Amino acid sequence: MSYTEEHKRETKERIVQSARRLFNRKGLNHVSIKEIMQEAGLTHGGFYHHFSSKDELYVEAVDSYSCCNPTEKWDDVEVDLSAAPDELASQMIDAYLSRGHLEDVDWQCPMIALPSDVARASPVLKQAYERAVLAMVEVFSGKNVLESRERALSIVAVCVGGMVLARTLDNVELATEIRDAARKLAHDISG
Amino acid sequence: MSYTEEHKRETKERIVQSARRLFNRKGLNHVSIKEIMQEAGLTHGGFYHHFSSKDELYVEAVDSYSCCNPTEKWDDVEVDLSAAPDELASQMIDAYLSRGHLEDVDWQCPMIALPSDVARASPVLKQAYERAVLAMVEVFSGKNVLESRERALSIVAVCVGGMVLARTLDNVELATEIRDAARKLAHDISG
DNA sequence: TGTACATCAGTGAACGCGCGTTCACTGATGTAC
DNA sequence: TGTACATCAGTGAACGCGCGTTCACTGATGTAC
């Protein structure tokens, strides 16, 4: 045997994280394998010892987002993961629609960073994306999960819509106005 | 002189419309100039008699959306453009979040079809996009435009968010659930 | 009306380039003795 | 402990391919006489 299993796992994880960052910044199709491997401190040839194709990397990268946790990342808003469900939902709304989240492109939610890329991607990638959407729905369901699914879905729509628009606009004032309007509305719904 | 000014204008318009359709289907960067020109009934070499670069076409294509009018396109919902502002806003919500709009990829709103493409595009293209957002805000402002800007912005966020998510999901049931939740909420806000 | 000419929209071969992928090779590492 | 070996993660040149763009050419058209 050469190297350890763990060594290989760590290298692969480094590639995935490097890819996730670059995908968020430039979109799935504006990032080359060479670029990803360089950011991970490797050369492009080794890529195929870890993945059978670039498509496979897409899936792993989007799946790796699920582990992302706003608490550690968007430092202008505090989220207490041990809070009561309704309180947590409220904090998540603020975190999701925060300036920190908008500007932290590297760690941004894939639903904001990659919507149209995913819309045209392979079924496996879309499934990874669906898992991310459902995880978010769950957070916004609060304590009465079963009764408030519709409410949770509309909060997700407002949050994602507000942020997608904000990220697309160069006009900072308008982007902020939209985020503020979306935040207010999301809080109104969640009650 | 060869050919008429009008002949050239018509050809250019045919290229722009062909590009708009293909961009909506495949995204800005998965469509080649050869493909666009073929769809317009031409060969790729002539492209540069009409545009100085592909970037220039992006802008013209996104600007050409503004003329898009849901009335003629999404035939499962009727919109009466001569209706009173509040009534029009209400009809537009139904049209925008309709199944017809979701499925009519060719004529879909660019905010739904191209969000992440535009987020990473050139400033001129982002400005074209901003014009589209502002046009939509105006429609949803209803009769008291000045007083209800925040309301209009949040309606836009819900509508765009709901549709962006719906288009990204392969799971039709979930996509429909989201559109329904978004539509209900948008109507609640617009009152 | 007919003809000779100039224009330029349209054609399609060719260009350089960067991409995803392949492959022969290297050399650091863990294992066996 | 030291040494010989096998493994395979990592390297970097090379591949075919399609892209955006260029360019010399064609030929349909409008204009001048």
pLDDT tens profile A106-126: 989 999 999 999 999 888 889
Rank A85-89, A137-141, A145-149, A162-166 by mean pLDDT and report only the highest: A162-166
The answer to whether the Cβ–Cβ distance between A115 and B27 falls below 8 Å is no
Token couple for A152: 């949770």
CB B23 within 8 A of CB B59: no
Work out the average pLDDT over B87-108.
92
B7 touches strand C (CB under 7 A): yes
A1 touches strand C (CB under 7 A): yes
Work out the average pLDDT over B85-109.
92
Confidence of residue A38 (pLDDT cuts 50, 70, 90): very high
The residue that leads in pLDDT, B23 or A139, is B23
In strand D, the nucleotides that come within 7 Å of a protein beta carbon are 6-13, 18-24, 27-31
Q: How far is A133 from chain B (nearest CA, A)?
A: 8
Residues of A in contact with B58 (CB under 8 A): none
A46 touches strand D (CB under 7 A): yes
A105 touches chain B (CB under 8 A): no
The answer to whether the Cβ–Cβ distance between A153 and B177 falls below 8 Å is yes
A184 touches chain B (CB under 8 A): yes
Confidence of residue B81 (pLDDT cuts 50, 70, 90): confident
CB A61 within 8 A of CB A55: no
Q: Distance between CA B88 and CA A133 in Å, rounded?
A: 31
Which of B116, B185, B189 is closest, CB to CB, to A117?
A: B116
Q: Distance between CA A76 and CA A165 in Å, rounded?
A: 20
Looking at chain B, which residue has its C-alpha nearest residue A110? B116
A181 touches chain B (CB under 8 A): yes
Give kind and range of the element (H or E) at residue B118.
helix B115-119
Q: Distance between CA B80 and CA A159 in Å, rounded?
A: 30
pLDDT at position B97 is 96
Q: How far is A169 from chain B (nearest CA, A)?
A: 6
